[in-house]
Amino acid sequence: MKNILCIALLLFSIVVNAQNTRQKHFLLEKNTAISGYDPVSYFSNKPLKGKANLTYNYEGINYRFANPNNLETFKKTPEKYEPAYGGWCAYAMGAKGEKVEVDPENYRIYEGKLYLFYKNFFSNTLDDWKKDEVKLKKQADTNWNKIFK
């Protein structure tokens, strides 16, 4: 019985540690990803703010949804809808390996994945990303894998 309890505690600590690692690397606002936007809505070409009463925690990350259908869609294949690079700016991740905050309405769906980008009055990194998307994505993947260890 003592061995079973030890194994259970070990497994629990592994799960908690994995969730904390994800939380540490994801861009969260008030403990919620994508500034509360519904990740599924991006795939319908219109990012929508999620509702607090439609929140779902996936591996330690809270997501909000605009409607129950989007919540159920996310639950079936969350890895499809989670933003790349923990929701940080894809361009900054590719160009410099840095975590830079984003404008959640500045995005691109590329090869079936959601990418978010920084934008202000003077700069839109989505435009820079599109100029060399293949190279930047490859470098961003490499940089993210180094960060997310």
pLDDT tens-digit readout, 72-118: 999 999 999 999 999 999 999 999 999 999 999 999 999 999 999 99
Residues 89 and 45 in one domain: no
Do 75 and 98 lie in a common domain?
no
**Whether the predicted pLDDT of 140 surpasses 90:** yes
The per-residue pLDDT for range 9-48, each reduced to its tens digit, is 333 433 433 446 678 888 888 889 999 999 999 999 899 9
| Domains: count for the chain | 2
pLDDT band at 130 (very low <50, low <70, confident <90, very high): very high
Which amino acid is present at 70? N
Res 30: pLDDT: 85
My answer on whether 95 and 77 are in the same domain is no
Please say whether the beta carbons of 67 and 54 come within 8 A: yes
What is the rounded CA–CA span in Å between residue 85 and residue 100? Answer: 10
Q: What confidence score (pLDDT) does residue 20 get?
A: 62
The answer to whether residue 136 scores a pLDDT higher than 60 is yes
Tell me, yes or no, whether 89 and 139 share the same domain. yes
Domain that holds residue 72: 1-82
Same domain, 35 and 19: yes
